[in-house]
Amino acid sequence: MSLVRLIVLGIVALDGEAHGYAVRRKVGEWRVDSWTRVQPGSIYHALKQLARDGRLRALAAEESAEGPDRVRYRLTEVGRAEFVERLEAALGSFDIEALGVGVAFMDALPKKRVAALLDDQMQRARANVAHLRALRTETPEEGQAPHTGDLLDLWIGNLDATTRWVEGIRTRLGPA
């Protein structure tokens, strides 16, 4: 899951820069833990990878009045591009966690863009639900998983609930 990467990019993007502990704190303050688990280690790891990949630039370690020195990171242009790319992908995803993170950061994109992405997401989601329903009523093939029908129902139900939620968000954005 490179959701962590998106989350870190998104938080750094808010102010253009941040140090690791600030990101970590923000992840804690927001109840990010409700929608996706992000451990401190993952955050620092992501920061390092992003810095290595030129998405963030590590500034010189600065002194802190309240504790050890800390490293501040600044978002680069490439970093912003990756943020947008990942954010758009998240807003088109069927994965509930990705979708949640996408919506959390959606204000970083133009409204029209978000609307288009969500329209697309909904269309594909509905097609997917239809496909799963079709599978559901098919005569069971050989060698299927036990309780395949139930499992399909689980996915259909959740996809459906998610789609209704997306619909709500989309409606609020107003007509395209």
Partner DNA sequence: GAGGTGCTAGTCAAGTTTGACTAGGAGGGC
Partner DNA sequence: GCCCTCCTAGTCAAACTTGACTAGCACCTC
42: contact with its own copies by CB under 8 A: no
Nearer CB in complex with DNA: 9/118: 9
167 touching its own copies, by CB under 8 A? no
- State the minimum distance, in angstroms, from the CB of residue 132 to DNA: 21
Judged by beta carbon distances under 5 to 8 A according to partner kind, the member of its own copies, DNA, none in contact with residue 161 is: its own copies
5 binds, among its own copies, DNA, none (CB under 5 to 8 A by kind): DNA
**What phi-psi label fits residue 72: left (phi over 0), alpha (psi between -120 and 50 degrees) or beta?**
beta
Q: How many CA atoms lie within 13 A of 131 on its CB side?
A: 7
DSSP assignment of 81-108 equals: HHHHHHHHHHHT---HHHHHHHHHTGGG
By CB under 8 A, tell whether 90 contacts its own copies.
no
Least distance CB 157 / DNA (angstroms)? 23
